Amino acid sequence: MRNLCRCLAWICFAILPAGMAAHAQRAPAKPLLDGMAAMQTSLAALHPEVGDGAISAITFDSASGVWHFRLDRDPGKNPASLEVTLDETTGAVCAHDPASGQCVAQGSAAAQLREARERHAAQEDAVLHLAPDLQGVMIALVRYQVTAEDGYLHANRMPVYVSMSWPDGSRKLDLSPAAIQRLADSGLRLFPGSAWPSGKAPPDATMMQMSVGLPMRRQDGDFDIQYTFWCGALCASWHTAVLRHDANGWHVLTSRMDAIS
């Protein structure tokens, strides 16, 4: 009996890690990209180009780590519809002919996925190791945008509601009353982001939200910061800045507009 119990114990110990490993392999994958990025990245990677069409049914299979969406093209094209997949593990992109299952166009999004992984890692590090003086980050960006000739706030003088957002949206930090006071010489009417009228879109671009991301430390010691402005359906812009922090506070080294609507 003692030997039997000992054997059963060894069997249990042998099975447990294997079962845990199998469970880990089946664990749902969290996508690196969002649906829009997956669609844009896939279409840009395909060769030969598949042309324009209507996009529908964008889904992510967490078990396989693969994005799927349907592209309905001009009826005169053969095939008129394509099933496009993007594998986040390998980066492989394929536009399948639904009838044959064959790839009529393919490509690789490995480089874009690598950048996405690096960005996610930087965001996680930004949360774990918060940069100093986050109010100073917002102050520096507001001042830059007001004074730079190509600054978004330089050309759009409307009330601005400012806050900093954590990458997962779990937390926001308002521009503080003290920071607003320090920016009194900017000529802007500034408010904390949480004071934005709940659920309301700005009428005719009469007020603006400025949302600043957490500073992400670069290898050279400076910080990348992504931030956006929004003042309506056709009034928005996306920016990336490089800032440096020293004994005198935060300084904007560069800032570029990535997109505008």
- Answer positive or negative: Cα dihedral of 245, 250, 256, 260: positive
Integer Cα distance of 142 and 147 in angstroms: 9
Amino acid sitting at position 223? F
- Is residue 126 within 8 Å of 167, Cβ to Cβ? yes
Q: State pLDDT tens for residues 84-132.
A: 999 999 999 999 999 999 999 999 999 999 998 988 888 899 999 999 9
Integer Cα distance of 35 and 57 in angstroms: 10
User: 160, 170, 137, 89: which is closest to 250 by C-alpha?
Assistant: 137
Alpha helix positions (H), the chain: 2-26, 35-45, 110-128, 134-147, 152-155, 177-182
Domain boundaries, the chain: 35-126, 132-260
pLDDT tens for the chain, 261 residues long, are 444 333 333 333 333 343 333 333 343 468 998 888 899 899 999 999 999 999 998 999 999 999 999 999 999 999 999 999 999 999 999 999 999 999 999 999 999 999 989 888 888 999 999 999 999 999 999 999 999 887 778 777 789 999 999 988 889 999 999 999 999 999 999 999 999 987 666 666 688 999 999 999 999 999 999 999 988 777 888 899 999 999 999 999 999 998 887
- Is residue 61 within 8 Å of 85, Cβ to Cβ? no
Question: pTM higher than 0.75 for the full model?
Answer: no
